[in-house]
A and B are shown apart, each in its own frame.
Chain A
Amino acid sequence: MTAVVYGVLYLCAAVFAIACVARAVLYAKAPIHLRWELYPVPHEEAARVQHGGSYFEQLDWWKHPPSFNLAGELSFMVPEMLFLKALHEFNRKLWYRSFLFHFGLYLLIGTVGLVVLAAVLTLAAPAAMAGSLGLVLHWLYMITGMVGGALAVVGAVALLVRRLTDPDLVNYTTPGDLFNLCFFLVAFAFMAAGYLLRGPDAPGVVHLTAAWLTFDTSIALPGLWSAGIVLCALLAAYIPLTHMSHFIAKYFTYHSVRWDDAATANNPKIAAKLAEYLTYRPTWSAPHVTADGKRSWADVATTNPWEGGKK
């Protein structure tokens, strides 16, 4: 039984990692698209970020060296990632629910990190963990775990209620959307119940994690807690397979689309990519495109089917 739980954990961790990487690679390998930025672009010079301006506001903009305002970008990204700033600004009602849920998840991710750290330290430096470091880590993961779990559950229930009751969402809610939220709730419920009711003989989380890391199957895991662990592992593996992997997508929607204002002039990397794309052979069928699968984009773009007044 313990070995099966370990196996599921390993497998799900692998699926999570592979699926995340695969998705990121898929998006990263997509061709550089035509520019499609949306202002404000926060890496613009600070004075221009204020009003959402771009380098096009400068006379002879191409004569100025390109600037990159990292502080501006970070001051947008950090509040967005931690506190869902855009939602706070544009959809306050939803933000209350979504923030609870997401912040709860962040705390739970932190809990997992702390528990793994404690387990590694227990294996590598047991003496250090026996002292105050062990105690500090214990309280840290207990607090983040409890608070994170509570926030995530309250947030998920609030989101579920909204999905079920808000007439604006009816058209756009699929059974899968309801399942996703229910999956979170069920997995967390089993995990919490399993952990809290695990009994005096059951291992603690750090002990369990250390055993998992060393594939020590000698510990006995109670059934309810095993179910909780397995469900949470399956949930983690499931997330990157769905639209909930927006934590990956957001990197691209912001950096590669909304904020991609890189000019082609003096940018050999972009120029090389464009040269490649212009050799692609489109197959669009409308006659005016003049694409037959043999002619390249460069041919199509430099063809004027109406040159000289032709029909």
Chain B
Amino acid sequence: MKAKIRLSEMSRRDRVPLTHVAKEELMPLPPPLQDPASTPDWKPLADKTKGAVECGLDDTCALNIPQPKTKEEEDELVKKFLSGLDKLFTRENNWTFLQPLVLTMEHCAKCQTCSSACHIYEASGQNEVYRPTYRSEILRRLYFKHVKHGGLLSAWQHGDVTVNWPLVARLAELSYRCNLCRRCAQTCPIGADNGLVGHELRKLFSMEMGISAKECHDNGSVLQLKVGSSTGMSSLVVKDNIEFIDEDMTEKTGVKVETPWDVAGADVLLIHNAGEIMAWPENPGAFAVILNAAGITWTLSSELAGYDSINYGLWYDDAQFARVAIKHAEAAKKLGVKKIVLGECGHAHKALSVIADRVLTGELNIPRESSMTLLRDIVMNDRIKLDPSRNDFPVTLHDPCNLVRLMGVVEPQREVIRKICPQFREMWPHGVDNYCCGGGSGFAIMSGNNFQDWRFQVAGRKKLQQILNAFSDCLDPSIPKYLCAPCSNCKGQFRDMLAYYDLWEKNKILYGGLVELIVNAMVDVKPGFIEWEWH
């Protein structure tokens, strides 16, 4: 068994990583990946990176925090961290999550029930550093020592911790080794929440120290607030792209496809994750086909952020989160639509429907609905004509954590799939007990250094196991298989992970959304909407 890494090692002054993730120690995978030697090798971190940024935690590096040059610089950073720690426990700064955070700090029974629920811990071969309570216990000890000003008695009761720059830097990285999926929290007998700890740590680093993942902040929420979308698309560009998609879809389906823009008083304002428009144009295209065929009055918005449902602040920063959520609501308010419907994006669902519910006050609290629900209504009430035999290939369904465990939208998408996919099979476990795809909390868009290796070998491993098990009876490449993931981020993770393990080439496992399956079964549409090509 791997040696347990002590909590005190987080304060170790050397920059040698606390742990190394060896391929042979990882959770075994089912066929065709049962032999670790047949899986890709982990790219080591470049020496230049190791000499310039903080990477003393494990074999990868998510944040690229520059190494301080002097002791004074280090002390300043630690001071800032401690001031952020204090703020995390005040109403003024953190009314948003104070109550659950304090409950988690004060009542963990350290029973480790949560550990076996965590896909990262399990897939890593139970690497101590990735145990859900490892980072929580560090924060807990810091809380009792520095926020509650506990003395010797407190250290005896709650455990001690030495705060120094190496600990702070490692803790920052460690907050980005958790998908914030909260599967661990579901199993905690007390109701403590290690996922929340990851979230709050990220907030502390971002909101006090300006430390965050570049992909989530600079290229994410900042870009969205600057130009309207984290893809960098302005409203002009996005309109152009959608026009092109409409043309393409018209040709492909044989049905005239037109996407309405800025229709005042429409029943539905549909907001896509704009990544779909760039990476998977058939998804917004399929939405247009379905909504038009069902006779729904709908529109897209060209307002700033009104055409991109992403809200990366959800994962690391309350201010960024609130700003983007308000922009979404303002776009809907301006058009006077009856409701906002969220496209296939899990985190956007949770961000705007659940978490922002207590940010959007008064007139901004416009009803928000899941596209899964609307699609279920269309399909189950026969508002469009469908032929399930067009989908007669093995299909399995991934449950995006944000949509399912964290929002309770479980059945609508299943009802649709059961109706239109004769070879549907569930993964196990599924529904609210699902496992994260490994791309949750921003990881799907993070690929600096060798972070992708960690993402596919560790974070996504459990999901990969589930997918391979679900298709174990039909792995042969002569049988095309469809992994349905009604979430843009999850699809990003699957695209990259399936390619990493070569599972399209070797086993013909394709991924895609729910609407593509629906359009593929539409009688009034030319057959073959799903093209069985890698994209």
Contacts and interface: CB of A to CB of B under 8 A. Distances in A.
A30 B190 contact: no
Contacts of B459: none
Interface string B311-355: 000000101101100110000000000010000000000000111
Contacts of B431: 51-52
Interface in A34-85: 34-41, 44, 48, 51-62, 84
A220 interface: no
A8 interface: no
A174 B322 CA distance: 39
B93 interface: yes
A167 interface: yes
Nearest to B226: A306
A96 interface: no
Interface stretch (B46-54, B104-112, B251-259, B518-526): B104-112
Given A56-B373, A169-B110, A38 B190 contact: no
Contacts of B7: 171-172
Given A90-B116, A171-B128, A284-B208, A53 B96 contact: no
Contact of A57 (B210, B367, B409): B409
A289 to B, nearest CB: 5
A184 interface: no
B411 interface: yes
Interface stretch (B191-199, B238-246, B389-397): B191-199
Given A33-B95, A258-B185, 18 more contacts: A31-B99, A34-B355, A52-B408, A53-B410, A53-B411, A56-B353, A59-B374, A61-B369, A86-B187, A90-B117, A167-B4, A168-B4, A249-B191, A252-B191, A264-B357, A264-B361, A285-B83, A289-B207
Given A33-B98, A87-B113, A310-B226, A284 B93 contact: yes
Interface string B134-168: 10010000000000000000001111000000000
Given A31-B95, A249-B106, A37 B207 contact: no
B405 interface: yes
Interface residues of B, number: 99
B323 A301 contact: yes
13 contacts: A34-B97, A36-B97, A59-B376, A61-B369, A169-B110, A172-B159, A174-B156, A249-B190, A249-B191, A257-B193, A286-B207, A286-B209, A288-B217
Contacts of B355: 34-36
B407 interface: yes
Interface SS majority for chain B? helix
A44 B326 contact: no
Interface residues of A, number: 92
Interface of A: 27, 30-41, 44, 48, 51-62, 84, 86-87, 89-91, 94, 98, 167-177, 179, 242-243, 245-246, 249-250, 252-254, 256-258, 261, 263-265, 270-271, 274-275, 277-278, 280-291, 297, 300-307, 309-310
A305 B224 CA distance: 12
A262 to B, nearest CB: 9
Contacts of A176: 156-159
B408 A253 contact: no
Given A51-B410, A301-B322, A37 B354 contact: yes
B229 to A, nearest CB: 13
Given A53-B408, A306-B226, A171 B6 contact: yes
B92 interface: yes
